[in-house]
């Protein structure tokens, strides 16, 4: 099958996200919302995704209408995003965020399903296809910063709509598996929750998700407080995203040499150190330099989690384990990070928020190191 389409989809989809997501907290702040309100707006989205994702993918599997659902989800996301700049009431905005999160939640999961199906016997090439998402995010972020600098903070929503329009056109050419899934979700949850090592690993993932969420949600607020412009914000995002590419490309080599749990522990230490560096940074060049560290944070967490989930999953329950990992990192972890970050932002300044979160991650990493199981994996 032609693999141009999944590569193009990832490029368009993550490029669209890079136009929107990093600027959301800055938009909320500029619109006059309080730190706690911003925390609610950024924290509710991953929680809704945690519910909406399994719901829509379950509907897609049971009805075999994957393409209909992904195209409808993209269309709904575009429409809802375009409404946000015209809303001035917090409760109406909160409702739009809930709806947007619910309808957009299955998009990337369905795209991943199509990509793996289209790869056939070459599933090991998934990373090479997914790389185009990082490229799209980094390149579009640089463009987005310049556009938003010139035309204002309504443009994250317009840019997102344009990018997702491209993704919609590409999604029509994706191919999906026709067979139904027979795996037992309840059995998988029960089996995995009985593993102490697995639960400890998920706690580590949760802590990493909280740390990453404070970066993703509030870095631009911090840069804005330092007087840095939107162009520099876009450049910072481009640098961090492009730093993912070499780490993802050589992911298999890391996993051959190191235990996934050890990789996750290293990533927690690096994230904690990264947050502390933000807390003491006052110049643009310092922020941009710190962004290079990103390649050893999120990509390490992701490849360690995918690898470990695959190793510990009982036969036939790999998807359940992967789902638990992804939901912990991008759902619960992101929600708590957004909410707690907003509260810290309200009672402290951004530097204080990063200082407290960074120390928390380093203390957590130390505790995980001291309590880690002696046996290798399971």
Q: What is the pLDDT of residue 83?
A: 96
What share of the chain in percent tops pLDDT 90? 27
The CA distances from residue 79 to 33, 75, 340, in Å, are: 23, 6, 29
Give 181-191 pLDDT, tens digit per residue.
444 545 656 77
For residues 2 and 4, what is the distance between their CA atoms, to the nearest angstrom?
Answer: 6
Domains of the chain by residue range: 1-182, 186-378
Q: How deeply is 227 buried, as exposed, middle or buried, from its count of CB atoms within 10 A (0-12, 13-18, 19+)?
A: exposed
For residues 115 and 24, what is the distance between their CA atoms, to the nearest angstrom?
Answer: 29
Higher confidence at residue 194 or residue 309?
A: 194
Q: What is the pLDDT of residue 313?
A: 63
Give 104-157 pLDDT, tens digit per residue.
988 887 887 787 778 777 766 766 787 888 888 878 877 888 888 888 899 999
Residue 341 tokens read as 């970050």
Q: Is the pLDDT of residue 316 over 50?
A: no
Same fold, 1-182 and 186-378: yes
CATH number attached to the domain at 1-182: 1.20.1250.20
Q: pLDDT band for position 22 (50/70/90)? A: confident
What architecture is the 186-378 domain classified under in CATH? Up-down Bundle (1.20)
Tokens 């607020």 identify what position? Answer: 221
**Which residue in 8, 64, 18 sits closest to 242, CA to CA?**
18
> Is residue 233 within 8 Å of 359, Cβ to Cβ?
no
Of the ranges 2-6, 34-38, 275-279, 305-309, which one carries the lowest mean pLDDT score?
305-309
Burial state string for 335-369 with b = 16 or more CB within 10 A and e = fewer than 16:
bbbbbbbbbbbeeeebbebbbbbbebbbebbeebe
Neighbours of 85 (CB within 10 A): 16
**Which residue in 31, 13, 18 sits closest to 93, CA to CA?**
31
pLDDT, the chain, mean: 83
Burial state string for 38-60 with b = 16 or more CB within 10 A and e = fewer than 16:
bbbbbbbbbbbbbebbbebbeeb
**Which residue in 15, 63, 102 sits closest to 331, CA to CA?**
102
Distance of CA 56 to the CA centre of its chain: 18
Give 167-181 pLDDT, tens digit per residue.
999 999 998 866 554
pTM higher than the cut 0.75: no
Tokens 């710190």 identify what position? Answer: 290
Higher confidence at residue 324 or residue 319?
A: 324
Mean per-residue pLDDT, 236-245: 83
Of the ranges 5-9, 20-24, 52-56, 218-222, which one carries the lowest mean pLDDT score?
52-56
State the angle between helix axes of 35-63 and 196-225 in degrees (0 to 180), rounded to the nearest 10.
Answer: 130
Q: pLDDT band for position 378 (50/70/90)? A: very low
Show the DSSP H helices in the chain as ranges.
4-20, 24-30, 35-63, 66-83, 90-104, 107-119, 126-151, 155-171, 185-193, 196-225, 230-242, 244-249, 251-257, 260-279, 284-291, 298-312, 318-326, 334-347, 350-371
């Amino acid at each position: 099958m032609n693999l141009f389409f999944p590569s193009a989809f990832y490029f368009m989809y993550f490029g669209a996200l890079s136009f929107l997501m990093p600027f959301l907290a800055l938009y909320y702040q500029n619109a006059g919302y309080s730190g706690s309100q911003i925390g609610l707006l950024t924290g509710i989205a991953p929680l809704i995704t945690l519910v909406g994702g399994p719901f829509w993918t379950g509907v897609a599997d049971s009805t075999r209408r994957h393409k209909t659902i992904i195209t409808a989800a993209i269309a709904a996301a575009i429409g809802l995003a375009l409404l946000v700049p015209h809303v001035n009431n917090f409760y109406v905005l909160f409702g739009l965020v809930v709806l947007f999160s619910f309808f957009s939640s299955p998009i990337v999961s369905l795209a991943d399903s199509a990509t793996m199906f289209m790869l056939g016997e070459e599933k090991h090439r998934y990373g090479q296809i997914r790389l185009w998402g990082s490229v799209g995010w980094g390149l579009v972020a640089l463009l987005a910063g310049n556009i938003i600098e010139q035309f204002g903070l309504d443009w994250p929503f317009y840019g997102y709509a344009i990018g997702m329009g491209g993704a919609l056109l590409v999604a029509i050419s994706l191919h999906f598996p026709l067979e139904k899934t027979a795996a037992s979700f309840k059995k998988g949850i029960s089996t995995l929750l009985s593993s102490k090592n697995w639960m400890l690993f998920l706690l580590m993932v949760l802590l990493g998700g909280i740390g990453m969420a404070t970066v993703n949600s509030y870095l631009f607020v911090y840069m804005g407080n330092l007087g840095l412009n939107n162009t520099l914000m876009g450049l910072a995002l481009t640098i961090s995203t492009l730093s993912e590419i070499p780490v993802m490309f050589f992911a298999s080599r890391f996993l051959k040499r190191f235990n996934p749990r050890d990789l996750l522990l290293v990533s927690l230490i690096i994230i904690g150190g990264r947050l502390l560096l933000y807390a003491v940074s006052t110049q643009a060049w310092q922020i941009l330099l710190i962004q290079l560290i990103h390649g050893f944070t999120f990509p390490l967490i992701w490849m360690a989690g995918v690898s470990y989930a695959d190793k510990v999953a009982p036969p036939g329950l790999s998807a359940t384990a992967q789902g638990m990992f992804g939901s912990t990192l991008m759902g619960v972890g992101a929600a708590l990070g957004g909410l707690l970050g907003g509260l810290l932002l309200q009672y402290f300044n951004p530097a204080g928020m990063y200082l407290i979160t960074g120390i928390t991650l380093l203390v957590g990493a130390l505790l995980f190191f001291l309590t880690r199981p002696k046996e290798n994996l399971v």
